[in-house]
Amino acid sequence: MKQAIGKLLWWFEERLELRTSLWTVMRHPIPRDLRTQVGWLYVFGSTAMTLFVLQIVTGIGLGMVYVPSAGEAYESLEHINYNVELGWMLRAIHNWSANGMVVLVVVHMTQVFLMGAYKYPRELTWMVGVVLLLLTVGMAFTGQVLRWDADSYWGLGVGVAMVGRIPWIGPELVELMLGGPSVGSATLSRFFALHVFVIPGLLFSALAVHLYLVVRKGISEPPQPDEPVDPATYEEKYEAKLKTGDPFFPDVFLRDAAFIGLTLLVVVGVSAILGPDGPGIPPDPTLMHVEPVPDWYFLPAFAVLALSPPSLETAIILIAPVIGVGIMLLLPVFSGTGQRSWRRRPVAVLVVIACFLCYGVLWELGVQEPWSPHMTAWSGEPVPPHMLKGLSPKELQGAAVLQQKTCRNCHALDGLGGQRGPDLTDVATRLTRDQLIRQVIQGGGNMPAYGKELNRFEVEALVSFLETCKPKGYAAAESSVVTDRAD
Amino acid sequence: MNTHTGDPPPAEATTTRRGFMEYFSWLLLAAGSVAAAIPILGFFLGPVLKPRQDEWVDFGPLADFPENSTRLVDVLNPLREKNDGMTGKLAAYVRRIEGESFQIFSTHCTHLGCPVSWFQESGLYMCPCHGGVYYEDGGHASGPPPRGLYEFEHRINDGRLVVKLGHLPTLQDPGSADVSGETS
Amino acid sequence: MIEQLFTSRPRRRQKPLCGVWYRLHGWLCVLPLLCCAGCFDSLPGKPTEAERYRRPNTIMDFATLYKTHCSGCHGANGDWGPAPPLNDPMFLAICSDEELKKILTYGRPGTPMPAIAKQHGGALTDAQIDSLIAGIRKTWGKEVTPSDPPIPKYLPPEAAGNVEAGKDLFASHCAGCHGNAGRGGDMAGALNDSGFLGTVSDQLLRRIIITGRPDLGMPNYRDAGSKPLTSEEIADLVALLASWRTADEGLTNETDAARTSE
């Protein structure tokens, strides 16, 4: 029996000749230096690829039940969540492994950058890697659209508004992107085609090139300080290392196997605990209470769009991404040789730290959204009772006016309410009565003018309430200039 | 032809014949490719080559809109497709100033297209995304928007308000009433 | 090489420590998996019906409606807000459902109470307003023991109040806290102030005189003076307060200056 199976396999092997092709690739030598702890830094790429495969498997499953039609997509997602056996789990795994893939691709790139692995002779590997990053982000954005809830509907609106700012051809590109004059069935279908056919196809092709280059040029050995890359001698040195190298499979692969296994456990565990993402509010343009927020990886971009000065905004939207991608793509052209170790590349380390700090800070701001009004604060955030104690009837009415005129949407009392404008709990220590009146009526400093919306009684009541807004024991603000009131 | 004898054909004859064949083959390939490319490209560029214009939509009798007030009106997008479902709906803010003087605003923030909410109590539109705020007349009040709200063209037919809309307004392709948006 | 792998490699067989376990170890691996497959439905990540999106106009739950649409002014528990308390059995006893519905639907023009009904620019449907009213009654309404004389009616009597009579009543019932002629006292602030009177309705004044503000310590119609106020006397007081409300007086000069000059 065993011999029969062996014969059969041999029959195939005679024709496929995998021993000399695939098997040699699997056994390609890896420098011995990876045997130490540093070898654990080489597992991220293969894990990201595994998650991509997981995306395809779960994606095929979802493709069997998802209806890519603007009129039915939302219902079909609810159907998958509630009715299809384990449908929710598949959606959850698809979502969380997508998140994991984005994270791992970035971690992988950071590792490659810090260890100088993008330098000669692996420049093209890095460039293809940048393309893979962009395609991954493309998958993330198109996938967010397929969720077809209010976030994706208005997310498309934001994308369209950005594309629409491109000079001259903006409106035409918008129509191309939407497949028509507005977001609808043509839009969903084309994003479905992008997410399911076009981008995965490109991703596969780019991945093939990436892997070909990795095998062809070999895995970069862990860098040693003061062993700069010199194209004249590098290949020779590397060849020498390979003579004593370990075969990739199974020796070196064991680490990848362990990390891949761990990652899969985490993805499945998180999916089981947190479940799928959405769908949230339906994509109904007549529902005005939606507060669209992008998926987490785009939150820093969301923050940048809120914080950039209006005069620079279009430039930031249109030019900054091009510059960023250009720098990343051309990085090995500018620094393709020289020191590889991060110990000898302080600027590279600083750049990484600065990037992650910026991303983190902007991300945190994107989560907080201090620039966004809280749409229901005026009717849903009570005035803290301690601020009402001992107020006169007029001051009480002022507090009611403050609520009714939606001031709380932008101004907090005791930390509750919008964060757009300053917290009013201690406003009386900062502004005098005259300043308060002027600020309310004329606005300014990014505050709308309320002159037309408040009658004199309301202004009087409101300002008299604001005058009481100071902590116990604090003096009221005083005018810096004493004006003669006798005029 | 004496090819079977193994002798090469006379040089002159081959040059011209092969030259022609070569030329003809390339031409054929080019013609076939162009023939295939034209309809395919045309299909992909369809939305640009045949853009659809905004259409007039009935918003209801004037009596529905009290003077000096702003209301959100839900209609069906005249440019909707068969399978659009709820995305084929459309909403617009209708402000009746007095008599037959109206302003019809898009719900899209002019900053990045998020949905603005109307607050009757303070006479403001507020955008939940980046905090754009507009006055009752659509003018920019605060925040990052580069202009006031997009407005739609409207007219009154037999005591009913009709509005011209359909496409998603963007900065370079605003609503059908092309106002500067800097009303206040 | 592959051929050798499959045909000639000698298999090392370790003697199992325990024969039964060894024979079953395949199943032992599969068993937890089967268990897992069975309990997937009880995992915390599985979406529940409660998480399903509900359109805002289908929300009928009183607590949610009150929290989002009323608590800003009327307080988290129906009292201790700048607006008159709803957590007030006496108010709920004298104010009919029709009256409440009218207030919610149209708001109170001239006061901070906005219209809540959709057709008047608010956010709620008719059914939601009904549910809100029923919820207010159910949560805060209590049987008020019939008193003698009965609680004055919520709506004012037809005859207009008498300002002169109001002055005497004010001195006896209100001035103790609100000061002479409503100019403010140690216990309570001024009433004779257009910032106050210009943002309240006569109906609100009447209601507050009847019910007081139990949360803020203001007594009701019965406890304010030596004897309970009658419906007509309250009308007189309201007439007095209304006479103080003037369009052009009582405002400080600064406000006017700011509005006209700047």
pLDDT at A66 over 90: yes
Residue of B nearest to A153 (CA): B87
The per-residue pLDDT for A361 is 97
**A405 vs A63: CA distance, rounded Å:** 48
Q: Are residues A306 and A446 in the same domain?
A: no
For residue C252, pLDDT beyond 60 = no
- Find the range with the poorest average confidence among A20-34, A139-153, A445-459, C39-53: C39-53
- pLDDT on residue A114: 95
A316 reaches B (C-beta below 8 A): no
User: Mean pLDDT: which of A377-391, B4-18, C27-41, C239-253 is highest?
Assistant: A377-391
Same structural domain for residues A172 and A91? yes
Pair A453, A390 in one domain: yes
| Amino acid letter, C133 | I
Closest residue on chain B to C113 (Cα)? B121
Average pLDDT over residues C232-257: 69
pLDDT at A145: 95
Q: Provide the pLDDT confidence category of residue C37 given band limits of 50, 70 and 90.
A: low
Question: Does residue C32 have a pLDDT over 70?
Answer: no
**What's the gap in Å between the CA of A3 and the closest CA on chain B?**
52
Q: Are residues A195 and A299 in the same domain?
A: yes
Domain boundary among A368, A393, A419: A368
Structural domain of residue A264, as residue ranges?
A: 14-368
| Candidate from A92-101, A318-327, B58-67, C249-258 with smallest mean pLDDT | C249-258
Query: What percentage of chain B reaches a pLDDT higher than 90?
Result: 67
B interface with C, Cβ–Cβ below 8 Å: 69-71, 120-121
CB contact under 8 A, B115 and A292: yes
pLDDT at B7: 62
Examine the pLDDT at A94 and tell me if it is beyond 90.
yes
- Residue C255 has a pLDDT of 40
> Which of C121, C143, C140 lies closest to C132 in space, CA to CA?
C140
A25 found inside a domain: yes
* Last-in-domain residue among A323, A350, A368: A368
- Whether chain B has a CB inside 8 Å of the CB on C114: the answer is yes
- Measure A51 CA to nearest chain B CA, in Å: 32
Interchain proximity C114–B120, CB inside 8 Å = yes
Q: Does position C137 have pLDDT exceeding 60, yes or no?
A: yes
| A385 interfaces chain B, CB cutoff of 8 Å | no
Task: Considering only the beta carbons, identify the residue of C114, C115, C121 that sits closest to B71.
Answer: C121
pLDDT tens-digit map of A103-119: 999 999 999 999 999 99
Q: What is the pLDDT of residues C152-186, one digit of tens each?
A: 889 888 888 888 999 999 998 888 889 888 888 88
- Domain contains A121: yes
A373-402: average pLDDT: 92
- In the predicted structure, residue B18 carries a pLDDT above the cut 80: no
A479 is a domain residue: no
Which helix (H) or strand (E) is A280 found in, with range? none
Is residue A254's pLDDT more than 80?
yes
**pLDDT tens digits, residue range B164-176?**
999 999 999 898 8
Q: Which residues in chain A are closer than 8 Å to C253, comparing Cβ atoms?
A: 485
Same domain, A196 and A155: yes
Per-residue pLDDT at A99 exceeds 90 = yes
Instruction: Name beta bridge partners: B60.
Output: B161
Q: Are residues A192 and A126 in the same domain?
A: yes
By Cβ distance, the residue of A171, A313, A372 closest to B131 is A372
- In tens, the pLDDT along A409-418 reads 999 999 999 9
Contacts of A398 (CB under 8 A, 6+ apart): A460, A461, A462, A463, A464, A465, A466, C82, C195
User: How close B62 gets to chain A, by Cα (Å)?
Assistant: 21
First to last CA, chain C: 94
Q: Are A461 and C195 in contact (CB under 8 A)?
A: yes
Alpha carbons B58 and B78: distance in angstroms, whole number: 10
The pLDDT of A113-132, averaged and rounded, is: 95
Domain boundary among A342, A368, A394: A368
φ, ψ for residue A268, nearest 5 deg: -65, -40
Tokens of A228: 């700069």
A435: in domain:
yes
CATH number at residue A70: 1.20.810.10
Residues A252 and A314 in one domain: yes
Amino acid at B170: T
Alpha helices in chain C, H assignment, sequence order: 2-7, 19-39, 62-69, 71-74, 89-94, 97-106, 126-140, 163-173, 175-178, 194-197, 202-211, 231-244, 253-261
Chain A's closest residue to C123, CA to CA, is: A289
- The whole-number average pLDDT for the span B86-101 is 92
Give partners of A (≥3 CB pairs < 8 A): B, C
Q: Do the domain assignments include residue A417?
A: yes
Q: Is the pLDDT of residue A283 over 60?
A: yes
Residue C17: predicted pLDDT: 54
On average, the pLDDT of chain A sits at 92
What local confidence, expressed as pLDDT, does residue C5 receive?
Answer: 46
Please identify among residues 246-275 of chain A the ones whose CB lies closer than 8 Å to any CB of chain B.
none
Q: What is the CATH number of the domain that holds A424?
A: 1.10.760.10
| Residues of chain B neighbouring C114 (CB-CB closer than 8 A) | 120-121
Query: B52-78 pLDDT, tens per residue?
Result: 899 999 999 999 898 888 999 999 999
pLDDT in tens, A163-208: 999 999 999 999 999 999 999 999 999 999 999 999 999 999 999 9
pLDDT value for B141: 92
pLDDT in the model for residue C159: 83
Q: Are residues A317 and A424 in the same domain?
A: no
For A35, A316, C13, C19, C27, the CA distances from C23, given in Å and listed in that order, are 37, 66, 13, 6, 9
Taking residues C44-69, what's their average pLDDT?
Answer: 90
Residues A423 and A310 in one domain: no
Mean predicted confidence (pLDDT) in A69-88: 93
> How many contacts (CB atoms, under 8 Å) link A and B?
204
Is the Cβ of B52 closer than 8 Å to some Cβ of chain A? yes
Mutation site, A77, A175, A401, A420, interface B, largest B CB count within 10 A: A175
- How many residues belong to chain A? 487
User: Tens digits of per-residue pLDDT, A295-349?
Assistant: 999 999 999 988 988 889 889 999 999 999 999 999 999 999 999 999 999 999 9
Residues in chain B within 8 Å Cβ distance of A375: 117, 126, 128
Same domain, A215 and A333: yes
At which residue do the structure tokens 């370790």 appear?
Answer: C14
Domain count, chain A: 2
Closest CA to A248 of A280, A277, A218, A289: A218
Closest by Cβ to C114, choosing from B69, B70, B121: B121
In this prediction, residue C40 has a pLDDT band, given cuts at 50, 70 and 90, of: confident
Contact A175 B51 (CB under 8 A): yes
Chain B's closest residue to C122, CA to CA, is B120
In a domain, A7, yes or no: no
What's the rounded mean pLDDT across residues C50-69?
Answer: 90
B139 touches A: beta carbon within 8 Å: no
Flag whether residue A409 sits within 8 Å of chain B, measured between CB atoms: yes
Cα–Cα dist C77/C140, whole Å: 9
* pLDDT tens digits, one per residue of B100-130: 899 999 999 999 999 999 998 899 999 999 9
Residues of chain B with C-beta less than 8 angstroms from the C-beta of A71? 83-88
Whether the per-residue pLDDT at C1 is higher than 60: the answer is no
**A400: nearest CB among C3, C47, C83:** C83
**Same domain, residue pair A387 and A348:** no
C window 121-150, beta carbon within 8 A of B: 121-122
Looking at residue B3, what is its pLDDT? 47
pLDDT over threshold 80, residue B98: yes
Q: How confident is the model at residue C20 (pLDDT cuts 50, 70, 90)?
A: low
On whether residue A430 sits in a domain, the answer given is: yes
Q: Is C42 exposed, middle or buried (0-12, 13-18, 19+ CB in 10 A)?
A: exposed
**Residue A23 included in any domain:** yes
pLDDT bin (cut points 50, 70, 90) of residue C151 is confident
Say whether both A359 and A384 belong to one domain: no
Tell me the shortest Cα–Cα distance from C181 to chain A, in angstroms. Answer: 15
ipTM value greater than 0.85: yes
Report the alpha-carbon distance of residue A145 to residue A186 in Å, rounded: 13
Give whole-number Cα distances, A58 to A54, A61, A101, A181, A349, in Å.
Answer: 6, 5, 14, 33, 37
